[in-house]
Amino acid sequence: MKKIVCPICSDEGEFSFISKNHYEIYCCKNINCKHYFLPDPQKGQGIHLRNDDLTIESDKNLKEFGDRNKRLLKLFLKKIPRSKKYKFLDFGSGCAHISRTFKTSLKKKAKIYCLEANQKCRKFYPQWDLIPVNNLDAIEEKIDLVYMIEVIEHLKNPRETLLNLKKVMDKNSLLFLSTPPGYNDEKLTNAYDNPTHIHFFTPQSLNNLLTSIGFKKLSFGSFSEMYPLKRKQSIVKEIIYKFKVFVKKTLIKNKGKSIKKKYPFHLVGFTKLDI
């Protein structure tokens, strides 16, 4: 039988469960990693399909997330050094509703690059004054802020991607990451809902990846800016429900003993190069 190796720490992986999308999910046996992953993703499996008319999809997302995006921008601007002209990279930009909001707010004060694996998306970006790039080599300057929002779980080789990302970063550059967490129970996370997800990170595995290639540990946080205000109440209820399920099942496993674990709805945080 072929040995399954964890793509994050290179330790041995073992079968965990069959997901709702009928994928075999494996888990790293290293207790300091516990990364969940698909052992043999196919080419293009992580690419999210888009509406043929990206403007329709982008406009729809703006209606739901426009105000959220403005709050997210305020958060980012508090974290990065003030500049006469910001340089952003939207990594995995998709329909670019986030970058559209940023560009509308900052106008000429921001140059925003959009990198997207789905080639159909790139032709739409210039109409919103966003700069499409095919790869990181096309960017010939250092970026102030890179945001990878719900992207890293789609990457076939996140290690190689983040290594390449370092080319456009310096000691002042900031990287913002978010991803749904991996567990061996699908009820505790929405990570397994999307069939284009390849990796299901734990806090340990994500920081193992980052620190092994020269980034600082992610400073995980709970950011309300990630969620639209009109959905905040329902999201909170969902988090509470999932947390209760998680606690109940863990208590059963621990024969009723109290625990101090918390369920994160997303793994979210900032990091930078460790230099």
In a domain, 48, yes or no: no
In a domain, 212, yes or no: yes
In a domain, 27, yes or no: no
Q: For the residues 39-46, what does the mean pLDDT come to?
A: 82
| pLDDT value, residue 259 | 44
How many other CB atoms are there within 10 angstroms of residue 183's CB atom? 21
User: Whole domain around residue 167: which residue ranges?
Assistant: 54-229+267-271
Give this prediction's pTM.
Answer: 0.86
Number of domains forming the structure of the chain: 1
What is the token pair recorded at 246? 């998680």
In a domain, 12, yes or no: no
In a domain, 235, yes or no: no
| pLDDT value, residue 192 | 94
Which of residues 88 and 246 earns the better pLDDT score? 88
In a domain, 253, yes or no: no
- For residues 45 and 24, give the distance between their C-alpha atoms in angstroms, rounded to a whole number: 14
Buried b (16+ CB within 10 A) or exposed e, 140-175: eeebbbbbbbbbbbbbbebeebbeebbebbeeebbb
| pLDDT value, residue 103 | 98
Looking at residue 195, which CATH number applies to its domain?
3.40.50.150
In a domain, 257, yes or no: no
In a domain, 127, yes or no: yes
Asked if residue 240 has pLDDT above 90, the reply is no
- For residues 130 and 155, give the distance between their C-alpha atoms in angstroms, rounded to a whole number: 23
